[in-house]
Amino acid sequence: MAEQSRSSKRKLPSMYDVARAAGVSQTTVSFVVNNAPNTTIPQETRDRVWSAVEELGWRPNAMARSLSLQRSNTIGLISDEIATSSHAGRIIQGAQAAAWAHNKMLLVINTDNNREVEHAGLEMLLERQVEGIIYATMYHHEVAPPHPRGQVPIVLLDCYATDHSLPSVVPDEVQGGRTATELLLRKGHRRIGFVNEIGPIAAMVGRLEGYKQALASFGVPFDANLVRSGASIAANGYRCALELMQLPDRPTALFCFNDSMAMGAYDAVKQLGLTIPNDVAIIGFDNLEVIAAQLQPPLTTMELPHYEMGQWAVHYLLDHADDAQPEPVQHAIACPLIERNSV
Amino acid sequence: MAEQSRSSKRKLPSMYDVARAAGVSQTTVSFVVNNAPNTTIPQETRDRVWSAVEELGWRPNAMARSLSLQRSNTIGLISDEIATSSHAGRIIQGAQAAAWAHNKMLLVINTDNNREVEHAGLEMLLERQVEGIIYATMYHHEVAPPHPRGQVPIVLLDCYATDHSLPSVVPDEVQGGRTATELLLRKGHRRIGFVNEIGPIAAMVGRLEGYKQALASFGVPFDANLVRSGASIAANGYRCALELMQLPDRPTALFCFNDSMAMGAYDAVKQLGLTIPNDVAIIGFDNLEVIAAQLQPPLTTMELPHYEMGQWAVHYLLDHADDAQPEPVQHAIACPLIERNSV
DNA sequence: GTACATTGCTAATGCGGATTACTAATCCAG
DNA sequence: CTGGATTAGTAATCCGCATTAGCAATGTAC
């Protein structure tokens, strides 16, 4: 049992040390610990090697291994604020899970939206010989990402290249908007207010489109007056909801761009003395645990497929690890519905 | 200008390639690119080397470099759900910033609270020759962390070892509770309700202690009836606040264990027809952006020093990188007050 | 008894880069 | 003109591991 006290700087044992201890060559140790095929090493010798390994507390040196094998078994994940923003942390989880399943390690870098940090980070990843790079962003939008041409494959996550020249995976905003609206329609609602984001971003456009598609499929005419917008924060959700609920023919359901706006909408609705979901049903987007699960009543909402995007990105990279020039797939993943009690 | 199209698998150039292109030896290339001291290489030669580097698009191979230098320049950060929980993502930011400032890279691993994953992750980090390990958790509590003895220094973050045998950095809960309560006291409040967590965790105990200290320093007697508790979710915040606000001699201020409970308290207070902060002041804890900044009115709250803890941990590791046996410091970092409009 | 296969194991080399020790050529002082 | 210093480099080795080629000893067949 490794009798090395906690004195730090003692040199770690190498295969040579193990070999010496076991009375064999380093080659033999390598064969044994890697269970190399096409070798004829009797059990007795293997046992000697393994006990030497135990005794010295030997552990493979990943750097030496990678150098020799010419593969690092690492994938880089570089993002603007992903590690910071809560719900996006699942991207890391998904990516890590997928990577581990293939015996790869994830190298995460946060750029804090700083171009220089981004560049330096990319350089670090490349120096560390990553086998692929995931370029992820906080929210679904267009980006002008670096093109580390001819080096390693790259895939965009929750964003897309202006010219679609790089593969990317994003949430299916249209489906999300459609699914949310359809739920409301199926529950019998016909006047459905939409509290939307105002910025010209993919989510705003896509969800509105989905909203329209759903209405159309149920034969409900689109009424522009039922769509209000503002920057997606609670205060605007409050304002928009208040406006909508004071309309002469007020909606019986509200589809909010995100949970923060839904939170504001709750305030407005409650203030008007109305109850959720009886007087008005509300559905949000994002499934921010701290909000959606805690609101009273708990908020039914759409979830962004962060975990799945992380997984997909890693799989894509692994599948195209040595494709000379993979076609730049633009993949969209469906947003699942999270039912709680607000509809 | 690197004329290597995007065909992936072309072997990357090595120093030898650069040396050949520049008509010098690999040693010279190494000296030039590393700007080695005590060498006498004329500018003309240096230029030749650098342009060969440019031309071939050479980039140092971090693994080879580490192997040779016998130091990986990496620090491992292993945590339960840190990357997932939003406000804790700042730990990663702080740690990364500190690491980068010292030219180190952070290796992040998420265990999802799975012991096996934790063990495998730790092993991966060790194999990759990390120079130190940060063991972080989602919330401040006691843990039985692995003791990778005699290998690399380890530091606990937002948690502590049962026997305090490992260095750790945690939020100063007592100061947090004290500061929050003092703010209320300074504003003239004398009957201050405390909506606390019920579990026997460090935060619950520490903040209560801070609450008591603050009251004492203002000569206000502690009234156990003003302290209510429950699992720290909005529903319990609502319940506790309702109970407190219906007391005969109701409090004029509420100190909530966290922002979620404060969110529930807002509901209760509003439902009773009272206004914040006029009828009752409320202060939370955690500074969850999505809640605190979005509540109406915006919530004054205490922030957990995640960023600072991440920084501190890295600095600690770097400072004690080769101490044979560093004393296990138990460091507490103050929680800053974030003033908004609820007090 | 000889040819051949099998068993058990090792020497040598390469991966990309850092570094030490050393050489060859030039310069300068005396 | 000579000896020592300076200039401009290079060859060789090491880091820890993977892998190829091959060797010696034993077994097996005829």
Sign of CA dihedral B178, B184, B187, B192: negative
Residue A149 pLDDT grade (very low, low, confident, very high; cuts 50, 70, 90): low
Contact A67 B62 (CB under 8 A): no
B184 and B255 Cβ atoms separated by less than 8 Å: yes
Angle (nearest 5°) at CA B243 between B241 and B245: 65
Q: According to the model, what pLDDT value does residue A148 have?
A: 72
Is pLDDT of A5 > 60? no
Cα A188 from chain centroid (whole Å): 34
Tokens at B117, concatenated: 């994953």
Is residue A161 within 8 A of residue A168, CB to CB? The reply is yes
Interface contact A62, partner B, CB < 8 A: yes
Model confidence at A81, pLDDT cuts 50, 70, 90, reads confident
CA B223 to the chain's CA centroid: 35
Point out the residue among A6, A259, A321 whose CB comes nearest to the CB of B150: A6
SS3 letters for chain A?
A: CCCCCCCCCCCCCCHHHHHHHHCCCHHHHHHHHCCCCCCCCCHHHHHHHHHHHHHHCCCCCHHHHHHHHCCCCEEEEEECCCCCCHHHHHHHHHHHHHHHHCCCEEEEEECCCCHHHHHHHHHHHHHCCCCCEEEEEEEEEEECCCCCCCCCCEEEEEEEECCCCCCEEEECHHHHHHHHHHHHHHCCCCCEEEEEECCCCHHHHHHHHHHHHHHHHCCCCCCHHHEEEECCCHHHHHHHHHHHHCCCCCCCEEEECCHHHHHHHHHHHHHCCCCCCCCCEEEEEECCHHHHCCCCCCCEEEECCHHHHHHHHHHHHHHCCCCCCCCCCEEEECCCEECCCCC
pLDDT tops 60 at residue B331? yes
Residues 6+ away with beta carbon under 8 Å from A20: none
The reply to whether residue B324 touches residue A9, judged by beta carbons under 8 angstroms, is: yes
Task: Name the A residues in 271-300 with CB < 8 Å from any B CB.
Answer: 288, 290-291, 294-296
Q: How many CB atoms lie within 10 A of CB A157?
A: 30
Tally C-beta pairs within 8 A across A and B: 178
Q: What is the pLDDT of residue B89?
A: 83
Report the gap between the CA of B264 and the closest CA in chain A (Å).
Answer: 8
The per-residue pLDDT for range A157-177, each reduced to its tens digit, is 999 999 999 999 999 999 999
Helix boundaries (H) for chain B = 15-22, 26-33, 43-56, 62-69, 89-101, 115-127, 173-186, 202-217, 234-245, 259-271, 289-292, 306-319
Closest by alpha carbon to B47, among B29, B61, B64?
B29
Q: How confident is the model at residue A54 (pLDDT cuts 50, 70, 90)?
A: very high
Nearest CA in chain B to A238: B296
**pLDDT confidence of residue B4:** 39
Q: Determine the nucleotide nearest to A45 by Cα–C1' distance.
A: C8
Which residue out of B269, B291, B294 would a mutagenesis test of the A interface target, given it has the greatest number of A Cβ atoms within 10 Å? Answer: B294
CA distance A134 to A159: 11
For chain B, the average pLDDT equals 92
Alpha-carbon span B104 to B107, nearest angstrom: 10
Beta bridge partners of B105: B74
**Distance in angstroms, CA of A119 to C1' of C6?**
57
Nucleotides of C under 7 A from a protein CB: 6-12, 14-21
> How does strand A337-338 pair with strand A300-303?
antiparallel
At B146, the pLDDT band (50, 70, 90 cuts) reads confident
Q: Tens digits of per-residue pLDDT, B33-46?
A: 999 988 889 999 99
Distance from residue A40 (CA) to nucleotide D29 (C1'), in Å? 22
- A26 strand D contact, CB < 7 Å: yes
**Residues in CB range of B229: below 8 A, 6 or more apart:** B195, B196, B197, B198, B204, B236, B240, B257
Residues of chain B (224-283) having a beta carbon less than 7 angstroms from strand D: none
Cis bond upstream, residue A336 (ω within 30):
no
Calpha distance B252→B185 (Å, rounded): 11
B94 within 8 A of B310, measured Cβ to Cβ: yes
**Looking at the predicted structure, is the pLDDT value of residue B7 above 60?**
no
Query: CB of A11 under 7 A from strand D?
Result: yes
Residue at B69: amino acid letter: L
A73 close to B (CB below 8 A): no
Question: Which nucleotide comes closest to B63 if you measure CA to C1'?
Answer: C16
Residue A188, pLDDT > 90, answer yes
CA of A126 to C1' of D2 (A): 55
Q: Which residue has the higher pLDDT, B189 or A149?
A: B189
| Rounded-to-integer distance, Cα A312 and Cα A318, Å | 10
Taking 60 as the threshold, does the pLDDT of residue B6 lie above it?
no
Cα separation, A257 vs A23, whole angstroms:
69
pLDDT class of B145 with cuts at 50, 70, 90:
confident
> Contact, A291 vs A86, CB < 8 A?
no
- Per-residue H/E/C for B202-224: HHHHHHHHHHHHHHHHCCCCCCH
pLDDT at B8 over 60: no
Amino acid residing at A320: H
pLDDT at A171: 97
pLDDT exceeds 50 at position A98 = yes
Nearest to A45 by CA among A23, A67, A61, A75: A23
B325 touches strand C (CB under 7 A): no
Structure confidence at residue A89 (pLDDT): 83
Mean pLDDT value of segment B1-13: 55
Give yes or no for CB of A38 within 7 Å of strand C: no
CA B50 to C1' C23, in angstroms, rounded, equals: 25
- Residue A62 CA and nucleotide C15 C1' are separated, in Å, by 13
Confidence of residue A151 (pLDDT cuts 50, 70, 90): confident
Residue B267 CB-density burial (10 A; 0-12 exposed, 13-18 middle, 19+ buried): buried
Please indicate if any CB of chain B lies within 8 Å of the CB of A267. Answer: yes
Instruction: Using the CB atoms, write b or e for A120-130: b if 16+ within 10 Å.
Output: ebbebbbebbb
Instruction: Say whether the CB atom of A330 is under 7 angstroms from strand D.
Output: no
**Tokens 């007087």 found at:** A279
pLDDT tens track for A202-212: 999 999 999 99
> Are the beta carbons of B287 and B304 closer than 8 angstroms?
yes
The pLDDT value recorded for residue A249 is 93
Tokens (6 digits) for A253: 């359901």
- pTM value surpassing 0.85: yes
CB A306 within 8 A of CB A91: yes
Interface of A with B in 167-226 (CB under 8 A): none
Contact, A162 CB vs strand C, < 7 Å:
no
B39 Cβ nearer than 7 Å to chain D strand: yes
What is the dihedral angle through the alpha carbons of B161, B127, A117, B18, rounded to the nearest 10 degrees? 160
CA dist B96 and B106 (Å) reads: 6
Tokens 């905003």 — which residue? A173
pLDDT surpasses 50 at B205: yes
Q: Is the pLDDT of residue B281 over 80?
A: yes
Amino acid identity, position B261: M
Q: pLDDT digit string (tens) for B312-324?
A: 999 999 998 776 5
pLDDT, average across residues A43-71: 96
Q: How many CA atoms lie within 13 A of A338 on its CB side?
A: 18
- Can the peptide bond before residue A221 be classed as cis, meaning omega within 30 degrees of 0? no
Whether the pLDDT of residue B1 is over 60: the answer is: no
Q: How far is CA B172 from CA A78, A152, B93, B147, B333, in A?
A: 32, 45, 20, 25, 5
Query: Does residue B159 contact residue B141 with C-beta atoms inside 8 Å?
Result: yes
Q: Give, in order, the Cα–Cα distances in Å from B275 to each of A32, B238, B248, B296.
A: 73, 15, 18, 10
Q: Which residues pair with B94 in a beta bridge?
A: none
Residue A6 reports pLDDT greater than 70: no
- Is A234's pLDDT higher than 50? yes
% of chain B surpassing 90 pLDDT: 84
* Backbone conformation region of residue A143, classed left if phi is above 0, alpha if psi is from -120 to 50, else beta: beta
| Residues B262 and B282 sit within 8 Å (Cβ to Cβ) | yes
> Given an 8 Å threshold on Cβ–Cβ distance, is B296 in contact with A64?
no
Over the stretch A20-31, which tens digit does the pLDDT of each residue have? 999 999 999 999
CA A41 to C1' D19 (Å) is: 16
CA–CA gap between residue B59 and residue A132 (Å, rounded)? 16
